[in-house]
Structure 1
Amino acid sequence: MAENILLKIKENLKNFSFAEKRIAVYVLNNQNDVLQMSIKELADACETSQATIVRFSRTVGATGFSDFKIRLSALQNLDKTLLEEISPDEDLSTVKEKLTVRIQQTLSDTNKTLNDSTINEVVKLIDKSKSISVYGMGSSLLAASDFAQKFGRLGLTPFVGHDVDEVIAHVVNQEVPGLFIVISNSGERPLLKNLLKSIPEEIKTVVLTKTPKSSLAKCADYVLNYSATSFPNKMRTSETTSLLAQLYSIDLLYYRYFQNNFEKHFFQIQNSYEKTHGPRKK
């Protein structure tokens, strides 16, 4: 999936160093000119060093300046207004296109940030655990429910808690070896951090989050890191892309788990389908 390097630059403006921010602004305002420039010419135009240009290129996902220009050239015909936040006077077709750009970027970035070996390790934990609990707050609760629904179709019975007291009461008494999964975009809610610290040692913990260096992630045995596009101090379309990234990450866990015992799980899915879509008795 192609990465939109202009969107990557725009959403990370606040995180760049002073020199990198000068490069970012110049690129956003002079895309076509940059395509014709050498690395020295761009460095001179931005009053910075060639090494900083290379570092900036790598920061936004390119392997170097040449690769950066290739990715930039692929966006020559892109309507730059699609990189802006949604406004009240836009027609529906424009809103569709803007969300599509963000969703594509979210999935592309998430594929990079989700570690394959960590996914495989968590799938092994799911397979050998006698009990599984999953919890999320706000929109993350929707992702937790999706996890339970998907794996429930394969014969597992994940417990979904709807408040912290309910979760603690269940988890401290669940069978071991067990697994507890917390879904949190920021990973900084004190309530969740305290919850994770109360989990018995015999139960492995997994955090699905956008922020792998958060205080919550530091308390977990395993961290699954997704990505979501967002612009600071704007409309919170990141809530939409964060939920999509969470659901996509859960899909990857589900299908990887499905692969590990394909014939058995295929039969379970078929049986579930026939039971729910078979002829109804009068």
Structure 2
Amino acid sequence: MSATSAEALIRAAHLGPATAVTVLAAALAVSAGLSIERIVLVTAAVATGQLSVGWSNDLIDRARDRQVGRADKPLATGELSIAVTLWSCALALTATVILSLLCGIVPGLIHLGCVGAAWAYNLGLKSTLFSWLPYAVAFGGLPIFVVMAEPGAGPPPVWMPLAGAMLGIGAHLANTLPDLADDEATGVRGLPHRVGERWTRALSVTILCVASVVIALGSRSPPGGLVLVLLAAVAGLGCVALLAEGRTPFRAAVAIALADAVMLVAAR
């Protein structure tokens, strides 16, 4: 594979979201007190799973991306071959299955369920009223997988997968905001497209802010200085997301999701 193809393959993997989810999983593993070996295993399983999700997304959507002139999509522009992407996706998915099951049968199957939910979104759920569901399943299942990856560990408290699910739904709604018009033009009609930009923005902010409160209340220890600062930041960002125009609401919603992720990792 040439250097150009390798660079295009990396871009087709949705490296930003993939890295964010992988870092979140690694941070959760450290916070949960997993052994070094398990931290590495969990991180690798999540990383390969995210790569398979990113590549499958661009493979499935390449015609749509070409239709709306997405110059940032290597498969749509022809920079990257379908065969290379297919092989890479298959290898990543195979590695995900092996690495996940090495974490234990139960946690491994939970993680594969999370990856399966993301694939289901790519394969068609994104265009239905239930476009939010794969995000709820994947992000809600992630802390369960991470905590249970340590041998002998039980599931985390209910508030953790609940907060994770809300974080996923809020992130999904926020992520669609910049692309609502392009999605509509190519036949994608998920929940955000059905309720419109204004309600999508309001729902995203509300769900992400509620997730912040769930994390703060669910933690076994009283909210510390960091959590209180983040809660105050979430409140301010929520106001910005609801009142601002342009891309500012999207950026504010993403910032709230990031604050929720930090709180989730810091919670005990």
TM-score category (smaller protein):
under 0.3
Bigger share in helix: 2
TM-score in terms of structure 2 length: 0.27
TM-score (norm 1): 0.26
- Greater Cα radius of gyration, structure 1 or 2: 1
Q: Which has more strand, going by share of residues?
A: 1
